[in-house]
Amino acid sequence: MSIIIPNFEFEIIKKHAAEAFPYEACGGLLGKIEKDSRIVVKAYPAGNRYGRITWDSFEIEPKDILGMDKLCVKEDLDILGFYHTHPNHPAIPSNFDVNASWPFYSYVILSVKGNSMDNVTDIRSYLMADRVSVPVEEEVIIK
Ligand SMILES: [Zn+2]
């Protein structure tokens, strides 16, 4: 599997990542699955319920999950996964990420080191089939 993120949507994610720093940014990735690829059509920046500075844990606002669902129905898309940032930490799933993961979804993690979009230094995506296995990295294609 690979996940394909259009440039324009990637810019939205990077902007969100930079603006939220030093807090974790999080959001949804809506799109379609075609053969072996997950094709992102829309990035959906969401609120993070955790009001404290973290790098290893976040929680998407429930109202934003509802918003994603509504948009998916309206535009015939599926929630393919979620993105979030690791401020000042590598783009590797934390124990929290693994424990909070759901099968099927892509978990895109961005490492961010400051408030500028240039400070997004790494992007990786993982599938976490269950909550005990090692996360499996999938290819991220920005185009
Ligand atoms: Zn994380």
Ligand 1 midpoint to CA 85 (Å): 6
Ligand 1 midpoint to CA 55 (Å): 6
Ligand 1 midpoint to CA 128 (Å): 12
* 132 pLDDT more than 80: no
Under 8 Å between Cβ of 94 and 56: yes
CA–CA dist 42, 72 (Å, integer): 10
Ligand 1 midpoint to CA 126 (Å): 11
Ligand 1 midpoint to CA 57 (Å): 6
pLDDT in tens, 94-125: 999 999 898 889 999 999 999 999 999 999 99
Q: Which ranges of 6-135 would DSSP assign to H, the alpha helix?
A: 7-20, 62-75, 95-100
Ligand 1 midpoint to CA 125 (Å): 11
Under 8 Å between Cβ of 126 and 105: no
Which CATH code of 3.40.30.10, 3.90.226.10, 3.40.140.10, 3.20.20.70 fits the domain covering 2-142? 3.40.140.10
**Would you give the end-to-end CA distance of the chain in angstroms?**
16
pLDDT in tens, 22-80: 999 999 999 999 998 999 999 999 999 988 899 999 999 999 999 999 999 999 999 99
Ligand 1 midpoint to CA 19 (Å): 17
The residue count of the chain comes to 143
Rounded to two decimals, the pTM is: 0.95
pLDDT of residue 134: 86
Give the per-residue SS3 of 105-128. Answer: CEEEEEEECCCCHHHEEEEEEEEC
CA distances from 139 to 5, 24, 54, 60, 71 (A): 11, 22, 26, 24, 26
Residue 138's closest CA among 45, 55, 36? 36
pLDDT of residue 140: 98
Ligand 1 midpoint to CA 80 (Å): 17
Ligand 1 midpoint to CA 76 (Å): 28
pLDDT of residue 89: 97
pLDDT in tens, 81-100: 999 999 999 999 999 999 98
pLDDT of residue 1: 85
Domain boundaries defined on the chain = 2-142
Ligand 1 midpoint to CA 93 (Å): 5
